[in-house]
Amino acid sequence: MTSLFAIGFLGRQGSSYLEGLLNSHPDAQCLGEIISSKDPSEEIAPYLRRTVHSAGAASSGFKLPLSNLQFNPDLLPFFKENGYKFIVLRRENKLDQLVSFILAGSNGSWRSDFGEYKTTSTVVNADDFESYVKVSCEADEELEQALKVFPVLRMSYEELISPQGYMPALDFLGLSRIELTSPFHRQRTGSQRESIVNYDELRSRFAGTELLKYFT
């Protein structure tokens, strides 16, 4: 019987990287964002049965951004009835996550297979950063709460990209521990200082505050 799962995420947290890793496992299939927030929920369940449930792999899943659950909360009973597990991603460093969003948008490149960044640095507005941390942490918590009745593996981006950091996901999905590779890679190559034009000014602005922990 196929074990079903979904990757819950917000964005710029390594979901495509994890998708690629799992697809390199001979007993797994992981599809991308195959449903949309605009899809009627009554059409989603039959679609998932055709694409995910009938894959024939020992473990089969797909990527599920928070927005899909916000627009289709009645999908949760369907997931429960079908025994879904969830790998929930988060990114501990919110400054890195914000810079990743900004650069991906500036370059129109949301995955590494879309091409390398031409714009490699950006100005980060202090008020925008402060607001982003609040909104992002709230969204992380919303995703956690939505999935609290399911078997959940919580993984940070930072853990995932570490050497063999994906092994807990294999254990969680009941897959053999083998070395995996992903066609996707981190798009930003520079350090925070290299990627943030006003890095010193921004760091000084948040000296002595909780947000200083996000500066590396």
Contact 66, 139 (CB under 8 A): yes
Q: What is the mean pLDDT of each run of 10 residues along the chain (216 residues)?
A: 96 97 99 90 93 97 96 94 98 98 95 90 99 98 98 98 98 98 94 99 99 99
Query: 27: helix, coil or strand?
Result: coil
Task: Specify the number of domains making up the chain.
Answer: 1
Rg (CA), the chain: 18
pLDDT score for 42? 86
CA 118 from centroid of its chain's CA atoms = 23
Angle (CA) 51 17 19, round 5°: 15
Distance CA(170)–CA(16), nearest Å, equals: 16
User: Which residues constitute the domain of residue 147?
Assistant: 3-214
CATH number at residue 36: 3.40.50.300
Contact 17, 184 (CB under 8 A): yes
pLDDT score for 39? 85
Contact 12, 100 (CB under 8 A): yes
Look at the block and give the residue holding tokens 């990757």.
7
